[in-house]
Amino acid sequence: MTWQADGTVLRIAHSLAARAVPGEEIEAFVARGTDTQILVRDQSVESMTSADSGGAGVRVRLGRRIGFAYTGRLDSASLDAVLADARDNARFTQPSDSAVLPAPDGVRPASFALWREECPDLPVRDKIARAHALERLVTASPRVQGVKSVTWGDAAAESAVVSSLGIESYSRRTSCFLSGYVLGVPEGGRTATSTAYTMGRSPAELDLAAAADEAVEALVATNRAAFPARRLPVVLGPAATAAFLGVIGNTLGGRPGPAGGEGGLAQEEFVASRHVTLLDDPTDPTGFGAARFDAEGLATRRNLLVDGGRSVGRLYDAAAGHRAGAASNGAALRAGYKSLPRAGARALALVPGDLDPAAAVAGLDHGFLVQGVSGLQAGAGPRGAFSAAVSGRVVRGGELAEYVPHTTLAATFSELLLGVRGVGNDSIPLPGNAKGTTLLVSELAVGGQ
């Protein structure tokens, strides 16, 4: 790593915000990061890339106007230029009643650390050794023909938000992962594939043995079947539930709409079955979306969105909250220093129920277990229709039967959520903005290619 996460971004952000003149408000978002990827095949390194990045995004507010500009350099001349550009843009943008910057709200940030020094300090030879180890663990199984590739990845980043209104935040985090593309032994003219994956904030958190075991278990090459279209009970596995929650969560930011309105949810409206309680909780350090501060520098907080099936909350950044007549609840997101903040979920989770995942399958005379989701396409709003390519297993007589490598699941989100008749007692941290939990849905349309 060619830089140290030593708080330099905080000092730069302070220097920009301190240059506000009377009648002007300035917010500076400054970030730096580094990432490394190593590709291994047949116990040899095929490629290795490492890159540093960093920059600053500046918002300037003049009355009812906000100007924004960014730079990918952090030298003095570039910082002078980006502030001048943001000031110019503020003079010429359209005025808006939602042109606001957040002020401190007194909420204290959660106390946890997302930085592990051993991640950026790990020597390259040790990263390669771990990739080799995963490859050996997977290929030790007689069900495995080989591993197409294993990828090691790690990242470290720091960011700061400072404003002339008194906002000040600093965050840093690390992450690392190993991923292998596994090829099964051909059976019946077919070759099954699976993925070995493990992720953590430090190398010590990577569970190579579990990743290898799960990849081997997922190699289902025999008894593949097409699946004719039909309606039947569906069990969503944790990864499938997380995929759907990620899409649903994106509709819960901003102003609530009138009951029955396009894409909107009225407060206290029933949007799911009584089994469903959904929250966005970045203060939970066990989730990969955990964060102490949002992208506008306010402390994150536990926001309840659906309680016993009722819509009870929304996610707001400063602008969305202002439009709704509410305050930000620490839910601002940014894609990076090049982007403006928006309201959205970063750590969705269902409150676990009392349904054992194995019992969810065992209790079905005939059904379908969704294990994988890809190509999820959804209409606007939490009531929107969706379709997704899914894979999984037929359930027959309470037992897993044929493997279905590709079929379609189509419904509306309302149909899915209102049809939930059981929530699993599992809650699994997964990459992305949602934890995975098993769901039992009374009936959905499954089938077709």
Say if residue 195 is in the same domain as residue 319.
no
Q: Are strands 439-446 and 420-423 parallel, antiparallel or unpaired?
A: antiparallel
Residue 448, domain member (yes or no): yes
Same domain, 174 and 270: no
CA–CA distances in Å: residue 137 to residues 19, 52, 123: 57, 32, 22
Check whether residue 35 and residue 81 sit in a common domain.
Answer: yes
Same domain (yes/no): 42, 100: yes
Asked if residue 107 is part of any domain, the answer here is: yes
Last residue of a domain, one of 151, 184, 217: 217
112 near 292, Cβ under 8 Å? yes
Same domain membership, residue 420 and residue 340: yes
Number of domains the chain is built from: 2
- The answer to whether 236 and 361 have CB atoms below 8 angstroms apart is no
CATH number at residue 170: 3.30.2290.10
On whether residue 390 sits in a domain, the answer given is: yes
The owner of tokens 């520098």 is 297
**Could you list the residue range(s) of the whole structural domain that residue 359 is in?**
223-449
Q: Which residues pair with 50 in a beta bridge?
A: 36
Query: 254 in the Ramachandran plot: left (φ > 0), alpha (ψ -120 to 50) or beta?
Result: left
Query: Does residue 121 form part of some domain?
Result: yes
Q: What token pair was written down for 202?
A: 């430090």
Whether residue 306 is contained in a domain is answered as yes
60 and 165 co-located in one domain: yes
Q: What is the pLDDT along the chain (449 residues), one digit of tens a residue?
A: 556 778 899 999 999 999 999 999 999 999 999 999 999 999 999 999 999 999 999 999 999 999 999 999 999 999 999 999 999 999 999 999 999 999 999 999 999 999 999 999 999 999 999 999 999 999 999 999 999 999 999 999 999 999 999 999 999 999 999 999 999 988 777 788 899 999 999 999 999 999 999 999 988 755 566 778 899 999 999 999 999 998 887 777 765 544 433 345 556 688 999 999 999 999 999 999 999 999 999 999 999 999 999 999 999 999 999 999 999 999 999 999 999 999 999 999 999 999 999 999 999 999 999 999 988 877 655 667 888 999 999 999 999 998 888 899 999 999 999 999 999 999 999 999 999 999 999 999 998 65
Q: Is there a single domain that holds both residue 260 and residue 315? A: yes
Residue 272 lies in a domain: yes
Assess whether 349 and 410 both reside in one domain: yes
Domain annotation covers residue 289: yes
Instruction: Say yes or no: 210 and 252 in one domain.
Output: no
Distance separating alpha carbons of residues 285 and 282, to the nearest angstrom: 7
Q: Residue 90 CB: number of other CB atoms within 10 A? A: 22
Same domain, 307 and 391: yes
- Which amino acid does the sequence have at 296? E
The reported pTM is 0.91
